């Protein structure tokens, strides 16, 4: 397998400011098939994605789980990688996947795009979550063999926590591989809400979901 054997799916909704960097990072990493699935952007997202070199632009109803599945329908490669529009793959990310024998699924270590030391701690905590709990989040660029993805039925088409639900399903099949990456992610959520506030909110949402709160209720709280 080589990087061209990996499809990259990017869900978007009004991501004109970030989509060029996301698509460009996938191209630089060696992706030959980049599928952008747009949920109804009213800005220049689609034009920007096209200009950046996306292979296919798919239109979908909004909702990350819905968009991820809609994009994956058009994926033709051996492995599918799901990349958030405000994330960037490191240049060796796809090659790292290719070097894992019998890869089933996994994710990457992160680099939060900010120099504050507190973000280094968050990065380590997120990596530990994958290693010890088998729980990968979407902003770690989850990847999975396409045949396995189809077998489990893809992502749940819910308003929030689709990555948590997917990880729960997948960790029963195989332990996730955590690769060094890095995937560079925006610090905008933490900067808007504060590091402590955003982290506590993330923990709160996970706990509520684990104990039965509906994704719709959680999505309203998150927004």
Tell me the domains of the chain and their CATH numbers: 3-188 (3.90.550.10)
Q: What is the phi/psi pair of residue 158, to 5°?
A: -115, 165
Q: How far apart are CA 128 and CA 131, in angstroms?
A: 5
Residues of the chain with pLDDT under 70: 197-198, 200-223
What does the pLDDT read at residue 195? 76
CA distance 223 to 86: 17
Per-residue model confidence as pLDDT tens digits over 166-202: 999 999 999 999 999 999 998 888 777 777 766 766 6
What pTM does this model have? Answer: 0.91
Q: What is the pLDDT of residue 173?
A: 96
SS3 call for 117: helix
- Closest CA relative to residue 186, chosen from 57, 105, 83, 107: 83
């Amino acid at each position: 397998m080589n990087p061209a054997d990996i499809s990259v799916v990017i869900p978007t909704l009004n991501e004109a400011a970030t989509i060029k960097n996301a698509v460009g990072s996938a191209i630089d990493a060696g992706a030959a098939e980049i599928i952008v699935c747009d949920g109804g952007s009213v800005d220049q997202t689609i034009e920007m994605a096209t200009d950046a070199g996306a292979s296919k632009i798919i239109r979908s109803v909004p909702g990350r789980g819905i968009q991820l599945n809609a994009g994956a329908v058009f994926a033709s490669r051996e492995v599918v990688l799901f990349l958030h529009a405000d994330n960037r793959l490191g240049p060796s990310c796809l090659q790292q996947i290719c070097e894992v024998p019998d890869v089933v699924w996994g994710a990457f270590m992160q680099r939060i795009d900010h120099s504050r030391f507190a973000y280094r701690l968050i990065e380590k905590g997120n990596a530990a979550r994958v290693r010890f709990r088998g729980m990968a989040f979407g902003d770690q660029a989850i990847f999975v063999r396409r045949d396995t993805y189809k077998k489990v039925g893809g992502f749940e088409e819910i308003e929030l926590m689709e990555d948590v639900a997917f990880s729960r399903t997948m960790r029963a099949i195989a332990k996730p591989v955590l690769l060094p990456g890095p995937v560079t992610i925006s610090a905008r959520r933490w900067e808007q809400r504060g590091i402590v506030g955003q982290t506590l909110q993330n923990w709160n949402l996970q706990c509520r979901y684990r104990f039965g709160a509906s994704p719709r209720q959680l999505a309203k709280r998150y927004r």
